[in-house]
Structure 1
Amino acid sequence: MGVMLEKLGSAVAGRRTRWITVIVWIVLAGALTMWLPAVGGQEKNNAPNLETDSPSVLADQLMKDKFPNGAGVPALLVWHRDAGLTEEDYALIQKTSQLLSEQPLPEQGELLPLHQMPAPALSKLASEDGGTLVQPITFAENADTEILRSNLEKLQGLVKEAAGGTSPFDAATTGVDALSARISGPVGIQVDASALFKGADVSLLIATVLIVLILLLLIYRSPILAVVPIVGVGFAYLVTSPILGWLASEGWITVDAQAISIMTVLLFGAGTDYCLFFIAHFRQELEREDNKMTALKIAFRDASGAIAMSGFTVVLSLLALLAAKYGAYQRFAIPFSLSIFIMGIASLTLVPALLSIMGRASFFPFIPRTEGMQQQRAEKRSKPFRPRRQGSKLGTAVGSLVVAKPWTVVIASVIFLGALAGFAPQVKFTYDLLSSFPKAMPSREGFDTISTAFTPGQLAPITVAAQTDGKPVELVASLSDMDLVDSVSEPVQSEEDPNLQSVQVTLNINPYSQEAMDLVPLLRGAAEEALDKVGVSDAESKVWVGGQTATQHDSQLLTDRDNKVIIPLVIGMILVLLIVYLRSIVAALYLIATVLLSFGSALGLGWIVLHYGMGAEAIQGAIPLYAFVFLIALGEDYNIFMISSIWKKKAKMPLKQAIREGVAETGGVITSAGLILAATFAVLATLPIQVLVQFGVITAIGVLMDTFIVRPFLVPAITTLLGNRAFWPARAELVGEEQSKSGKHRQIV
């Protein structure tokens, strides 16, 4: 295997082939960029997350088919004045209604004809204090987000023109005696969410590149070497983006802004790590070999297997998201796994080729040299020769500690991580998209205004439809008596089927809250009971519950299902890969166990930071699975690199010495890689989107746990305690003192 890997290294980074490798990457990136569409132009931020047979989807489709006049998604134009709406304000509202009626916006549907209502009737639609009025404007349910965004911009321009050049959208919603306007409701929320992610792309990319570059400069103190990983990741991105764009344009995959944002972070974080692991081996060999090409071949032989295995582990873990039924999870699978796959290829082809071209100069001004080269250099300068210290002081100290006191290290690590993991069951989850928005976002300001002036449930009423079979069903009475229900509209009969009726249920709580979602099955049960009372048969199949709250309820059910399927699947796949790679069931089991403990502690500490430190009442429901897949896969990366070093050294020296040297040898590069990966995920915490902030914080904490506790302390300490049993069912070769103690020689099988 070693000879084959050396030949592969020569094939991609030999004296002649290195230029071919670089040219191939340049041509490939350029051709794909020119011929294929960029992924950014193929984003669909309103792609459905639920399956077509989900109850809320069936309900919404029923409303669209059987109640076409009420079908669609509403934008709520919220008018407000602290001192109360004036006659001029009402005139502007009616003028706006008239313009929308005469010049409807694209995909505009039902419009409440406020311009045809007399002033006294219009004022009755306002809140009790007369300060707020909500003007609903319905748009087609399948309208593209970009069309909706353009419509809202046109609407704001239309209002500004009707107001004589003064835009009420610029006025503060409270504290001033001026008319304010905000667009909320499902359409406003959808457009604001898209704008947040879209605006995050460029700033996220710039911030990620800068943080990686700064950390590389601090770590290596070499401007050339700091650029090499950036170049490698950059070319991987240039190749990945058009391929994803092409796949999306052909309809084979669906991509959204959120997936592309996180993919950028993953690519730069994990991609830089792979480059660092190769660079570390190359630097080490340059200190042993006079010939840079020989050093490169050996580095490729020693590093490529672990890098390929780590990348393969991450790719398979991310592909497991294809087993999800929730759309947002599925949309992550291909972009993430493809980007890591291409980055893995770049780190084993382009990066070695670049290092081969630059050689020792890539480490300037701190150029690695062999001891003989250093001695000759010292003699030429007439300076005393000082041999280089092998390994870092800290790494050597940690390695010695875990070997000398493994029980102390294991117990202390498990207690610390376990105590933090104890907070994980306290985590509260939310599916409220509004809670992810900054408080100054227009749709959230509009929601706050509605909540204060009316009932918060008016933002997104729940639709309940029932097939009565011509029986006198008391649907309104059955639903009105329920807790948390503010009001129920009069039944509306379908023109196509008079026996089919629907009502709008307005809650007195936030319709995006957990309490509101928990009410969905209760509403369904109450409606079914009302049908049963009058003798309607098979009532369970004749009730439909739709709307945003029902959609979120179904989303929660799907994510719960996906957690139960994907988490065991990822653990199983990684376990099999580790067993195949390490040829040890025992090692694979405790490596998985340590990363699971690390994930639990990251979730617990993340909750402490987000809840007690940042004031978050809950975290987004999708985050635990995202964080789990990332942390399990990336956490095993570091374990693989360290344990690979120990396994190789064990063939030449006693296990305890192999552990000491393995920890010391890999400590610096894994610490550097962990800091860079954690920093890239922490960049997400700077964005104004709470779902990304929460994901970034938890993932960054998990990476740091792996970097500073699991990898240097817990794993090597467990390996020390198990001794040669860590290799079971393979048998470890006894070396040195181990031979004399056992009196026999075991061979690795």
Structure 2
Amino acid sequence: MFERLGRLVVHNPWKVILAWLVAAVVIVLFAPGLHDVTNQDQADFLPDDYESSQAMRLAEEKFAQSNDASATIVIKRADGRPLDDADQATVAELAGRVSSAGIDRVTGLAGPPTVSPNRQVQLVTVGLEGLADDQALLDAVPALREVAEQSLDGTGLSYAVTGDVAMFADNADAFDTALLVVGLATIVLIIGLLLLIYRSPIAALLPIVTVGVVSAISPGLIAWVAQATDLRVDPSLEIILTIVLYGVGTDYILFLLFRYRERLRAGEDRKQALVTAVARVGEVIASAAAAIVIAFSALLLAVFGAFTSLGPGLAIAVVAMAIAAVTLVPAIVSLLGPKVFWPSRSWQRQPTGTTFQRLGRLTGRRPALVAAVSGAVMVLLALGALGMRWDYDQSGQLPSDTESARGFADLQAGFPAGALNPTVVYVRAEAGQRLDPTALRQYADQLTAIPGIGGVMPAGPDGSPVGLSQDASAARISLLLAGNPYAPESLDLVGGELREIAHEQAPAGSTALVGGVTSAFADIRDANTRDLQVIFPVAGLLIAIVLALLLRSLVAPIYLMAAVFLGFLSTLGATVLAFQGIGGRPGLSFMLPTILYLFVVAIGTDYNILMIARLREEARLGNDPRTAADLAVEHGGPSVGAAGLILAGTFASMMLAGVAFLTEMGFAVAIGIAISAFVMSMFLVPALTALLGHRAWWPGHGNATAGGTGPAGPVPDREPVGAAQR
């Protein structure tokens, strides 16, 4: 199949390029943009049967503005003394000016200014119309700060605007800078490393041009599918999409160019060499893309919507990139021929005494030692995962030198840490009856007596802790947690004891639901745990099936997937040691396992597929298992190493972003890709295959003699030990 495709593309390059250009123009001009199908409604991220989702729906029904965002102005004396009556009067004037300033999306005050019991700080909570990440709300933050600055100038009071909206606004620049750094680093690394590898500006720019074309059309394709299938698209997809496309795109192009150069060195005609390269690498690329698509599509099994919205979109982009790798790239190379390596002439001669030749000989001669050492390295790193803890503190992942971060720290001088994100208990009367205010106050007292609850937020001018809906059929009680609302113990409290007591002690004739940010993250934690337990096994099984079909073997997929799982654990362990051990962080971001799943397990499997396909090809040419391992490392090692180095370097650049989460993510993925490429695929897999020998290909015939059928169709005769390529 791929040999026929190779001949079609190589001998009709202009037609293929024209077809791509026409498709690109049509999609760019007529397809909707990703922003047209992006869903920013966080309520959709959890299914309806989770309690926090039910509480949110009740809030929307009975308390119209409860789903809107807010900003909190934290005021204190600059000299650190308690606020006196004159200071509080000044704060009241500030609150009045905020209400009357006419700032877009400001709906007024969410309640009267609240002074802390120790009079160290006072809060002015400003109601905002919309979700926290709406751009109009982000634009309102500077206006609020300007009003506060003018009102408090010369009063001896200092202020800080904080809350989710302010944090989004303050950190927007940090994330924009991070994306710019990552984008530039990606391009510089790809060009720089490919210049080093091929000594050719044309070969270095080829991935940039090709991936650029696919990056231009992928958003339109995803948007079309999203509209046709009512697919939810998460705002973070566009960022991850760029990284995925440059990662897999560069990998696939490297696989093709390395094989093309190898066939040129073997003496094949420029056209035939390219046809052979497409024939040999085409099935590898298709299998690698299939593995990634399966891994990404397995996210559809997640119950947490932030994950399910990523999988299909990324899968569509990977399919487009794989098609480009076996059509557009060979078409361009067909026109250029060996000039793709210009001005270098190294493609004309086979290097001798290279590092990969020495590594190949070592693996072939001493596979047991290589397997033991590489396996031991991965196992030792994996032990670090035993101490892994999850961190749900979103504020702790952001820069600490912003005004919103300072405001959050100031707030804790007078209020419980949970004051910024109250946990709201909603009470609903059965059959639409009116609730009894006295019973509700007693109920609120019972809730505030629970250990870990630091207080209750007044709901009205009279200081009552209970806020009633207009028809008095529903009520809400805003509890302030004593600890950080994102801390594991807070999630345990809200998702456990608080919910149990809230349900059991609800006033007669009513039911209670616990909502708020902490309740949502308690549910997200449960959903995340469930998703990891379902997605990983299913994806692993499906990827193993792809490997079995590629290799016609039942044995090789077993140890390949075991190696991938060990690589995943070793990546987690290394990250735990770096951030929890050396860095002293309380835990790793709860999103990290899924991110590692996307990039390390899915994309890292590419390297395994390339190496195991080469091992099978060498075995089919009649080489004994150890010689096959030697040749596979010699010829497959450079492309695996180059691809791994580029992708790992791209993610490592995220550590320069200055955002804790991006630093953590960049390190984890970079170390994971490095382990996958330089330990697992380059040493462990070839060594294990050499030790297993012919049994690795059971029940297939991986040791067929020269002239047999290889993974990409008929394999031309050549010397069993690959003399023509040495």
TM-score greater than 0.5 by the shorter chain: yes
SS at match of 1:502: strand
The aligned residue for residue 492 of structure 1 is 466
SS at match of 1:346: helix
Kindly indicate whether the alpha-carbon contact (under 8 Å) linking 1:126 and 1:132 is maintained by their aligned counterparts in 2. yes
Closer, same or farther: CA 584–254 of 1 in aligned 2, 3 Å: same
> Does residue 1:74 correspond to 2:70, yes or no?
yes
Kindly indicate whether the alpha-carbon contact (under 8 Å) linking 2:392 and 2:486 is maintained by their aligned counterparts in 1. yes
The aligned residue for residue 148 of structure 1 is 137
| Aligned residue among 500, 509, 516 for 1:525 | 500
- The within-5 A match list for 1:155-174 is 155-160=144-149, 162=151
> Does residue 1:346 correspond to 2:320, yes or no?
no
Structure 1 CA distance for aligned equivalents of residues 5 and 67 of structure 2: 61
> Does residue 1:502 correspond to 2:472, yes or no?
no
| Aligned residue among 192, 208, 224 for 1:230 | 208
> Does residue 1:475 correspond to 2:443, yes or no?
yes
> Does residue 1:111 correspond to 2:85, yes or no?
no
Kindly indicate whether the alpha-carbon contact (under 8 Å) linking 1:602 and 1:701 is maintained by their aligned counterparts in 2. yes
Which amino acid is 2:243 matched to? Answer: V
The aligned residue for residue 132 of structure 1 is 121
The aligned residue for residue 669 of structure 2 is 699
> Does residue 1:657 correspond to 2:618, yes or no?
no
Offset at 1:73? Answer: 3.2
| Aligned residue among 690, 694, 697 for 1:720 | 690
| Aligned residue among 197, 214, 217 for 1:239 | 217
Closer, same or farther: CA 243–349 of 1 in aligned 2, 3 Å: same
Offset at 1:513? Answer: 1.3
Which amino acid is 1:51 matched to? Answer: P
> Does residue 1:429 correspond to 2:398, yes or no?
no
Post-superposition Cα deviations, 1:642-663, rounded to whole Å, max 9, x if no partner, equal: 1111211212222222221111
- The within-5 A match list for 1:87-98 is 93-98=91-96
TM-score, L = length of structure 1: 0.85
The aligned residue for residue 9 of structure 2 is 12
Closer, same or farther: CA 445–191 of 1 in aligned 2, 3 Å: same
The aligned residue for residue 210 of structure 1 is 188
> Does residue 1:300 correspond to 2:278, yes or no?
yes
Gaps spanning 5+ residues in structure 2: where?
A: 458-463, 707-726
Which amino acid is 1:526 matched to? Answer: I
Structure 1 CA distance for aligned equivalents of residues 129 and 476 of structure 2: 19
SS at match of 1:136: strand
Gaps spanning 5+ residues in structure 1: where?
A: 115-121, 169-176, 372-387, 737-749
> Does residue 1:599 correspond to 2:594, yes or no?
no
Post-superposition Cα deviations, 1:319-378, rounded to whole Å, max 9, x if no partner, equal: 11111111211121123212211111111111111111111111122225657xxxxxxx
Offset at 1:462? Answer: 0.9
SS at match of 2:115: coil
SS at match of 1:421: helix
Structure 2 CA distance for aligned equivalents of residues 734 and 20 of structure 1: 38
Which region of structure 1 is more displaced relative to structure 2, 284-293 or 100-109? 100-109
Offset at 1:585? Answer: 0.7
Closer, same or farther: CA 47–453 of 1 in aligned 2, 3 Å: same
- The within-5 A match list for 1:29-428 is 29-39=24-34, 43-48=38-43, 49-68=45-64, 72-83=68-79, 84=81, 93-109=91-107, 111-112=109-110, 125-127=114-116, 130-140=119-129, 142=131, 145-160=134-149, 162=151, 179-192=157-170, 196-198=174-176, 200-247=178-225, 252-289=230-267, 291-368=269-346, 388-389=350-351, 393-428=354-389
Offset at 1:128? Answer: 5.7
Structure 1 CA distance for aligned equivalents of residues 469 and 620 of structure 2: 81
Closer, same or farther: CA 484–96 of 1 in aligned 2, 3 Å: same
| Aligned residue among 471, 475, 485 for 1:511 | 485
| Aligned residue among 548, 562, 566 for 2:531 | 562
Which amino acid is 2:687 matched to? Answer: A
SS at match of 2:310: helix
SS at match of 1:438: coil
Which region of structure 1 is more displaced relative to structure 2, 317-326 or 243-252? 243-252
Kindly indicate whether the alpha-carbon contact (under 8 Å) linking 1:570 and 1:629 is maintained by their aligned counterparts in 2. no
The aligned residue for residue 382 of structure 1 is none
The aligned residue for residue 627 of structure 1 is 596
Kindly indicate whether the alpha-carbon contact (under 8 Å) linking 2:182 and 2:651 is maintained by their aligned counterparts in 1. no
Which amino acid is 1:65 matched to? Answer: E
Offset at 1:178? Answer: 6.3
> Does residue 1:689 correspond to 2:659, yes or no?
yes
- The within-5 A match list for 1:719-738 is 719-733=689-703
Post-superposition Cα deviations, 1:710-748, rounded to whole Å, max 9, x if no partner, equal: 122211111122111111112444659xxxxxxxxxxxx
Structure 2 CA distance for aligned equivalents of residues 412 and 236 of structure 1: 40
Closer, same or farther: CA 140–408 of 1 in aligned 2, 3 Å: same
Kindly indicate whether the alpha-carbon contact (under 8 Å) linking 1:286 and 1:368 is maintained by their aligned counterparts in 2. no
Structure 2 CA distance for aligned equivalents of residues 714 and 361 of structure 1: 36
Which amino acid is 1:146 matched to? Answer: Q
Closer, same or farther: CA 646–548 of 1 in aligned 2, 3 Å: same
Kindly indicate whether the alpha-carbon contact (under 8 Å) linking 1:317 and 1:570 is maintained by their aligned counterparts in 2. yes
SS at match of 1:75: strand
Closer, same or farther: CA 289–633 of 1 in aligned 2, 3 Å: same
Closer, same or farther: CA 258–86 of 1 in aligned 2, 3 Å: farther
The aligned residue for residue 413 of structure 2 is 452
The aligned residue for residue 461 of structure 2 is none
Which amino acid is 2:498 matched to? Answer: L
Structure 2 CA distance for aligned equivalents of residues 179 and 105 of structure 1: 23
Which region of structure 1 is more displaced relative to structure 2, 596-605 or 32-41? 32-41
Offset at 1:40? Answer: 5.5
Closer, same or farther: CA 242–80 of 1 in aligned 2, 3 Å: farther
Structure 2 CA distance for aligned equivalents of residues 701 and 680 of structure 1: 11
SS at match of 1:585: coil
Which region of structure 1 is more displaced relative to structure 2, 206-215 or 136-145? 136-145
The aligned residue for residue 723 of structure 2 is none
Post-superposition Cα deviations, 1:685-706, rounded to whole Å, max 9, x if no partner, equal: 2223333322221111111112
Structure 1 CA distance for aligned equivalents of residues 316 and 617 of structure 2: 30
Offset at 1:203? Answer: 3.8
Structure 2 CA distance for aligned equivalents of residues 204 and 242 of structure 1: 23
Post-superposition Cα deviations, 1:416-450, rounded to whole Å, max 9, x if no partner, equal: 21111111021110111111111023322221111
RMSD of aligned Cα (Å): 2.8
Offset at 1:103? Answer: 4.8
Which region of structure 1 is more displaced relative to structure 2, 60-69 or 146-155? 60-69
Post-superposition Cα deviations, 1:164-186, rounded to whole Å, max 9, x if no partner, equal: xx7x9xxxxxxxx9644322223
Which region of structure 1 is more displaced relative to structure 2, 246-255 or 720-729? 246-255
Which amino acid is 1:315 matched to? Answer: V
Structure 2 CA distance for aligned equivalents of residues 192 and 552 of structure 1: 23
Closer, same or farther: CA 735–353 of 1 in aligned 2, 3 Å: closer
Offset at 1:552? Answer: 1.0
> Does residue 1:617 correspond to 2:578, yes or no?
no
Closer, same or farther: CA 93–408 of 1 in aligned 2, 3 Å: same
Kindly indicate whether the alpha-carbon contact (under 8 Å) linking 2:181 and 2:654 is maintained by their aligned counterparts in 1. no
Post-superposition Cα deviations, 1:599-647, rounded to whole Å, max 9, x if no partner, equal: 1111101111122333422111121122124222222211111111121
Structure 2 CA distance for aligned equivalents of residues 46 and 467 of structure 1: 24
Closer, same or farther: CA 703–47 of 1 in aligned 2, 3 Å: same
SS at match of 1:525: helix
Offset at 1:277? Answer: 0.3
SS at match of 1:560: helix
Kindly indicate whether the alpha-carbon contact (under 8 Å) linking 1:77 and 1:136 is maintained by their aligned counterparts in 2. yes
Percent identity among equivalent residues?
29
